[in-house]
């Protein structure tokens, strides 16, 4: 069984998952400068969630950063490779959408990259529509942006 709960940004599981995501993206892009804009932090995350398996091990995470008004950005969506294909990403996404609604967020936006075609397929399958790059992604050549009205 998979559980997804809100946690503090600085919990050991969250930090470990974000480090694993960073290492995977660094390998995919061949560098460590693939994220335009300011990286998220505990101070600017509205919500951060961690998915856990039956043994309470952290297997995925995701967060929401306010953009202003009734918009938020999905940040740090990640599932460890061994757990992919089991519905963990969907569970995290649904928890983030539920949390967004509870905070009065009406639109979720996100950015993924041109070397993350698995993420592109996932977001499109889950009802997110491709949009023009926003904010720090406007001039980023590898950025692909999406939005969904809740």
Number of domains in the chain: 1
Q: Tell whether 60 is covered by a domain.
A: yes
Q: What are phi and psi of 77, to 5 degrees?
A: -70, 125
Q: Which domain holds residue 56?
A: 3-105
Express each pLDDT in 6-24 by its tens digit: 999 999 999 999 999 999 9
Model confidence, pTM: 0.95
For residue 84, the domain's CATH number is 3.40.630.30
Q: What gap in Å lies between CA 143 and CA 66, rounded to an integer?
A: 19
Q: Going by C-beta distance under 8 Å and a sequence separation of 6 or more, which residues neighbour residue 91? A: 2, 4, 51, 60
Question: In terms of residues, how long is the chain?
Answer: 150
Q: What gap in Å lies between CA 45 and CA 49, rounded to an integer?
A: 10
- pLDDT for residue 103: 97
| Average model confidence (pLDDT) across the chain | 95
Express each pLDDT in 21-67 by its tens digit: 999 999 988 877 778 888 899 999 999 999 999 999 999 999 999 99
Q: What are phi and psi of 111, to 5 degrees?
A: -130, 135
Q: Tell whether 32 is covered by a domain.
A: yes
């Amino acid at each position: 069984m998979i559980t997804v709960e809100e946690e503090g940004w600085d919990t050991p599981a969250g930090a470990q998952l974000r480090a694993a995501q960073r290492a995977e993206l660094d390998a995919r892009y061949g560098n460590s400068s693939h994220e335009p804009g300011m990286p998220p932090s505990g101070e600017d995350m509205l919500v951060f969630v961690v998915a856990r398996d039956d043994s309470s091990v952290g297997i995925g995470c995701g967060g929401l950063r306010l953009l202003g008004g009734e918009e938020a950005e999905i940040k740090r969506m990640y599932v460890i490779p061994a757990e992919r294909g089991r519905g963990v990403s969907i569970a995290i996404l649904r928890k983030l959408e539920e949390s967004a609604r509870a905070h009065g967020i009406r639109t979720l936006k996100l950015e993924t990259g041109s070397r993350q075609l698995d993420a592109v397929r996932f977001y499109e399958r889950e009802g997110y529509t491709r949009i023009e790059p926003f904010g720090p992604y406007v001039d980023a050549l590898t950025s692909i942006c999406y939005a969904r009205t809740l």
